[in-house]
Amino acid sequence: MRIGIIGAGQMARALGNGWVAAGHEVRYGGRGEVRDAAEFGDVTLLAVPVSSLTDVLAETTFDGKTLIDCTNAFAPDEGEMVLAEDAVAERVAKLAPGARVVKAFNLCAAEVWESDEREFEGRRLVVPLCGDDPDSLVQVEELVRDLKAQPARAGGLHRARYLEAMSVFVVGLWFTGTDARAVLPPLEAAFAVPDGG
Ligand SMILES: NC(=O)c1ccc[n+]([C@@H]2O[C@H](COP(=O)([O-])OP(=O)(O)OC[C@H]3O[C@@H](n4cnc5c(N)ncnc54)[C@H](OP(=O)(O)O)[C@@H]3O)[C@@H](O)[C@H]2O)c1
């Protein structure tokens, strides 16, 4: 697949290097190169600060292509991190009306993708995906598997806000020294019935 990456920072390189290693063609779009990267990609990853989204997305169009949104709107508030806005992914979809947006890769730090480790305590790392377009979800699932992680569909794009909130909440726990993995029981002990969907 040809993957355009908007941004050339830490997340762009961490995910981009993994996809190159899996055999994909990657083009990075730093400042002045956003349009070039978006036109190159069958799929585009948006990996810029939320504060630059309006400017960046005004530079290009997506013509029905998949746009992966890994951004997080973190803002410091009296020493804690909070969400700077309700849902970035839905704003991305409004700012890029020709794109089929999938929220993904916003939970793990870039360092996780820079490393080769994908199994923790015997469980493969799961990447939740929120998006409305079935074909785009299939594309992003493939890109998750190419990074040796396991995709999980987590609802439509309207649910991306919970993924974004989860990210800021989990980072807050990590900063207090609490292992976020320990706050939830495993599925077998969760008293929840998976619907298989
Ligand atoms: N790092 C993580 O662990 C992590 C994890 C999950 C999600 N995220 C999210 O991923 C996104 C990128 O994070 P990052 O850590 O990769 O940031 P980063 O290392 O600071 O890189 C940001 C990139 O965006 C570019 N950029 C900024 N403003 C731009 C503009 N107006 N036009 C074009 N390019 C612009 C920067 O270019 P310059 O260098 O020229 O400024 C840089 O290449 C953020 O939304 C972040 O919340 C990060």
CATH number at residue 153: 3.40.50.720
- Give domain status of residue 192, yes or no: no
Nearest alpha carbon, ligand 1 atom 46: 71
- Give domain status of residue 117, yes or no: yes
Where does residue 153 rank: exposed (0-12), middle (13-18), buried (19+ CB within 10 A)? middle
Residue 109 CA, ligand 1 centroid: distance in Å: 12
- The alpha carbon of 52 is separated from its chain's Cα centroid by a whole number of angstroms, namely 17
The pLDDT score that the predictor gives to residue 75 is: 77
**What are the beta bridge partners of residue 77?**
80
Residue 170 CA, ligand 1 centroid: distance in Å: 20
Among 48, 91, 111, which residue has the most ligand 1 atoms within 8 Å of its CB, making it the best to mutate?
48
Residue 70 CA, ligand 1 centroid: distance in Å: 10
In angstroms, what CA-CA distances link 176 with 166, 167, 189?
16, 15, 26
Residue 197 CA, ligand 1 centroid: distance in Å: 33
Nearest alpha carbon, ligand 1 atom 27: 48
Q: Which residues line ligand 1 (CB under 6 A)?
A: 7-12, 30-31, 34, 47-50, 52, 55-56, 70-72, 106, 109-110
- Give domain status of residue 196, yes or no: no
- Give domain status of residue 40, yes or no: yes
Six-digit token string for 59 = 């530079």
How many CA atoms, within 13 angstroms, populate the side-chain half-sphere of residue 175?
11
Domain hosting residue 53, numbered range:
2-184
The pLDDT score that the predictor gives to residue 14 is: 98
Nearest alpha carbon, ligand 1 atom 33: 31
Query: Per-residue confidence of the chain (197 residues) as pLDDT tens digits?
Result: 999 999 999 999 999 999 999 999 999 999 999 999 999 999 999 999 999 999 999 999 999 999 999 999 987 766 676 777 778 999 999 999 999 999 999 999 999 999 999 999 999 999 999 999 999 999 999 999 999 999 999 999 999 999 999 999 999 999 999 999 999 999 999 998 877 65
How many CA atoms, within 13 angstroms, populate the side-chain half-sphere of residue 14?
17
State the total domains in the chain: 1
The pLDDT score that the predictor gives to residue 78 is: 64
- Give domain status of residue 157, yes or no: yes
- Give domain status of residue 195, yes or no: no
> Under a CB-based contact definition with an 8 Å cutoff, are residues 19 and 143 in contact?
yes
- Give domain status of residue 107, yes or no: yes
Distance CA 21, CA 94 (A): 33
The pLDDT score that the predictor gives to residue 74 is: 83
- Give domain status of residue 189, yes or no: no
Residue 177: how many other CB atoms lie within 10 Å:
6
DSSP string of 132-178, one letter each residue:
S-HHHHHHHHHHHHHTT-EEEE---GGGHHHHHHHHHHHHHHHHTT-
